Structures are given as structure tokens and as C-alpha cells.
Amino acid sequence: MAKNTYKQDEILEEPFDIRHLLRASSYIKKYRRGMILAIVLSGIGGAFGYVAPMIIQRALDIAVPDKNMRLLFSLVAALIAIYVVSVIFTTIRSRIMVDVSQNIIYDIRKDLFEHLQELPFQYYDDRPHGKILIRVVNYVNSVSDMLSNGLINIVLEAFNLLFIIIFMFMVDVQMALVVLCGVPVLAVFMFWIKNKQRKAWQAVSNKNSNLNAYLQENIVGARITQIFAREDENAKIFNGLSKECRRTWNTAVRYSNLVWPGIDTISVFVRAAIFLFGLVIFGQENKSLGTIVAISSYASYFWQPIMNLGNIFNNFINNIAYLERIFETIDEPVTVKDAEHAIKMPKIRGKVTFDHVTFAYDETKTILKDVSFTVNPGESVALVGPTGAGKSTIVNLISRFYNVNDGKVLIDDQDIADVTIHSLRAQMGIMMQDSFIFSGTIADNIRYGKLDATQEEIEKAGKIVCADPFIREMSKGYETQVRERGSMLSQGQKQLISFARTLLCDPAILILDEATSSIDVQTEKALQTGLNRMLKGRTSFIIAHRLSTIRGCDKIMYIDDGGIAEAGTHEELMKKKGRYYKLYTAQKSLH
């Protein structure tokens, strides 16, 4: 999945081939018993049904001319029994296939979601989230029927065709050959329409993906839209994307709608040929009325599975693009993962070392160039500097959210690339700039990273970060339900809850990325007291633009120009009168 925006169509990295379907078969194998049973039931029901024209032939050629009412009633009873058997078997088969289809949806969606959980930050940085979402929901729903009912129906319709051909030849060989003359014409027609359909439905997939990406982006940014009165402009963009969806859909449907009329037209000509050959060319004396009616019925049956196969083929073409997208996502490489020789991270003491680290998010700009420093256990380090200099990048590399391009990041002299990610992050407390709140209770949000936390531990964390007073003022205290992204909470309240969530894990290394940016000064002073207790004995990295909050740190590193421009205590850097001094005095003059 190449990185793009809602304005750009996704480009398939490889053309579709049979290997995609073979790969999809892994989701089918688990339910092959149910699918085989469904095939058997449908096959038996279909075989019974194809006896009907022979019964009709016998009625027209024998029972009716001989006025044999007993035989006629027996034949009618046989037709009714055949119908009942077909209905029963079809019902059972439908129930089986509903279960199979839903199980396949579950398995594919589970694999997709689990893979998405492992993909690095870089994957989500590079592409609209709406285009990811549509693959997990819409595309999986679309392909599930193809992988269950579609494949079973291919087998069934192939058997149906075989049965029909056998029965036709049993009735009359010459007339059967007349029916089969239409097959080459159909083959040419289906070959012509195949590529046009696939391209058309890929275009539909692209435009729907673009629309979904823009819709998701605007739902998240609805407040910003209204603040800047962008409703009309956004509506124009949305309408443009919607029109593209409508245009590509109409084009694809036009090609799809050619399949059934094309097959039906060939069917009409073949049935006309049956009467022409049966009544004129072969002569009435050679072909009885019952034979012609029976072959005509079989011809109708013959083209029905062919039309069904055409519809299945149509469905395959429609969903192949979705299947490609799903496998493309599953194949997205997990670049940040455990090495084959990875070991469990020992209990962290807190020494952090950057050993000639170089890092770039992409090839256009290197963020860190040959950076080296060491932080001793229990030290608190503040990272300051201009926006985009690499402060957040440093803490992201310590947490191994990205791989370094060159050099090493070590904790307690252990290269973090050689330890399991879970054992590393389980001993770290990380609070990012985005204070994300999940739907659920406040207590659930605080215990998110430590599911076995007691209520006492949750409340203790709330008290330390000064969140306890406002939580208790809510209707149900810690059991108060909050909506997605914490829409009922202020930004400061969301940050305090996120703070409690981070501290609850009792981390050996604490990372605070703009953790107090949305907290008022009065609350921040109270929070600082609790933080000082929590920071004691822990290695901590603090990113803060409000420099007054980091004066007491053991070390301050000024990040700029791809590295550490200055480092020292607040007093040392102020005496040096370098970049930190200028930044601090400039900020102080504003207050």
C-alpha cells in the first residue's frame, strides 16, 4: 500500500494471478467439511431436478397419447417429490453456507487487525486512516461471499452442466450437439469482457477508498471545519469525490450488466436452433414432440448454470480488486519486530545510550545525524529545541517505535534491537502529545496498560497526577463513561487521565512528550509535586516547550541541526549564553 492522500488513487503493486485465489484457499480449508456437505446436498438436489424433463418427455410421448391416467398421476407425484427434495436440500445448504461465510469473514478480519496492530508508526504516518479502515470492513465483507458461496457454486454449476449434458445425450445426441454449438460463442464473449470488467471494478475500489479516506478525515476534524467555516469548500470536495464514485460505478455496472443479456441472447438463438433443426432440418418424423420439448427444457437448464457461472465470474471480477487490497495490507512488512535471536529484556536499571545514531523518516531528510549521548540510571533529561528538530524522534527511538538507520540504541548496555519489543515497552511509561481517550469508563482508560490493576492502584495514580478531584466530581466518579476520544472531557483532563495511565504501569523509564502542554499553570504546579516523587529513582525523558517546567532536570539537551547542539544543567547552559539561553530568555520575556 503506497503512501498517498484521498486525492490519489491507490496503485496495485502487482497484477492479479491465480496465486491470490490459492492463497485465499487457506481460509477455506478450515471449513471444507461443511462446504463438501453443502456441495453434496446441492448435487443430489440438482440431480433430482434434472430428471424432471425426462419425466415430462415420458408424459408427452407415452402417458398423454395412451391416455394412461395412472402413469400420468405417478409422473406428477414424482415431479412434486423432486421439488420437495430440492427445497429441503437447498435450505440446509443455505444455512451451512451462512455459517461458513461468517467464519471466513471473522478469520480474515482477525488476521488483518492483528497485522495492523504490529505495523510500525511509519505505516500510519504515511497513509489516510480511512483507506486502512475500508479494507478491514468493506473489502472483507465483499470477498467473503466469493470465497464461500462463490467457490461452492463454481463446483455445483460445473456438476450441473455435466449432468445436463449427460441427460441431453441420453435423450438425443444430435439435438444435444446443437445446444453445445453455442459454447464457443460464449467463450469469445466472456474473454472480451473479462479485462474491461476488472479494470472498471478496480477504479470503483480506488474511488470508494478515496471517498472513505476524506470522510474519515473530516469526521475527526469536524470542529476545525466549523471553526474556519470550511463547510461549503469541504462539501464541494466531497461532492467531487462522490461524483467520481458514481461515474466509476456506473461504468463498471454497464460492463457487468452485459454479462447476463449476452448469455441470454446466445441462449435464445440456441433454443431457436433447437426448433429449427428438430422440426425442419432433421424432420418431424425423426424427432418427437416430447424429445424437442425435453431438449428445449435441458437447453434452458444448460444455459442457467452458464448464466450462474457468468454471475459468479462477474462477482469474482468485482471482488478480485478487494482481495488484492486485503493481501496487500497483510503483506505490508512489519519493519519494527522482534529479531530471530531476540531475548527478553532484563529488569531495566535505566542507563540509556545513543551510540552514533542516524535516523530519517524517509530519503528526503535526515532527522538525526551521528548522535551519541549517555543518560545514567535515575537521571531526568529534558529535550528542548525548535519544532521538527528531532526531540520526539529521540524518545520514539528509545521506545523502538522506529528502527535506526545507523548506530545503536542501548539500555543498560543492551542493544534494544536484540530484545523483544513487548519486554522492552512493558518496562517503559510513555505519554505522547496526543492524549487519546478510548470509549469506556475513566477507570478502564487508566488501567488500559495494566489490566490487573486494582481500584486502589487506579485511584492512587489519579491522585498523584491531580486527576482525582475532577474525576470524583463526575456523576459516577471513576466509573463515569466517556465517549470516543474523550469528547466530554477538556484537553487538560484528558492529559491528566493519560498521565495516570502512564504512571500506573510503574515504569523504569518514563517518557513525557509535551505531557503538560494542555494543563493550566495552577494544576501544573500541583502535578509537579507528584511528578517529582514519581521521577525519583527513574530515568526520565521530558519534552516541554514551557521551559520553566524543566529547570530542575539533571540534564537539558538542546536538539537542533540533526544532533545535540548544547547539553548541561539549567545553570550551566544559562552561563554559556548559547541557544538555550536565548530560547529561555525570549520565552521569559513573554510572561
- Report residue 503's pLDDT band, with 50, 70 and 90 as the boundaries: confident
State the DSSP string of 129-157.
HHHHHHIIIIIHHHHHHIIIIIHHHHHHH
Q: What is the mean pLDDT of the chain?
A: 80
Decide if pLDDT at 344 tops 90.
Answer: yes
338-427+550-591 folds as Rossmann fold (3.40.50)
Measure the CA–CA gap between 361 and 367, rounded to whole angstroms: 7
Higher pLDDT, 97 or 515: 97
In this structure, the number of other CB atoms found within 10 A of the CB of residue 451 comes to 7
Give me the percent of the chain exceeding a pLDDT of 90: 14
More confident residue, 519 or 460: 460
The predicted structure's pLDDT at residue 398: 92
Q: Is the pLDDT of residue 15 over 70?
A: no
Q: How much of the chain exceeds pLDDT 70, in percent?
A: 87
Band (pLDDT 50/70/90 cuts) for residue 526 is low
pLDDT score at 364: 73
Higher pLDDT, 122 or 500: 500
Cα(459)–Cα(462) distance, integer angstroms: 5
pLDDT attached to residue 590 = 62
Start-to-end CA distance of the chain, whole Å, equals 48
> pLDDT class for 506, splitting at 50, 70, 90?
confident
For residue 375, the model assigns a pLDDT of 93
Give CATH superfamily name and number for 18-330: ABC transporter type 1, transmembrane domain (1.20.1560.10)
**Res. 14: pLDDT tops 50:** no
Distance CA 155, CA 507 (A): 58
- The full DSSP string for 2-20 is ----TTS----SS---HHH
Residues 6+ apart with CB under 8 A from 446: 453, 458, 461, 462, 478, 497, 500, 501, 504
Give the domain ranges of the chain: 18-330, 338-427+550-591
User: Could you tell me how many residues make up the chain?
Assistant: 591
Selected residue with higher pLDDT from 54 and 529 = 54
What burial letters (b/e) apply to 349-381, b meaning 16+ CB within 10 Å?
A: ebbbbbbebbbbeeeeebbbeebebebeebbbb
pLDDT tens-digit readout, 119-140: 877 777 777 777 777 778 778 8
The residues with which 408 forms a beta bridge, in sequence order, are: 355
The answer to whether 267 and 182 are in contact (CB under 8 A) is yes
Alpha-carbon distance of 117 to 176, in angstroms, equals 58
Give the highest mean pLDDT range of 64-68, 247-251, 309-313. 247-251
Residues 35-72 have pLDDT tens digits of 888 878 877 776 776 677 777 777 777 777 777 788 77
Given a cut of 60, whether residue 160 has pLDDT beyond it is yes
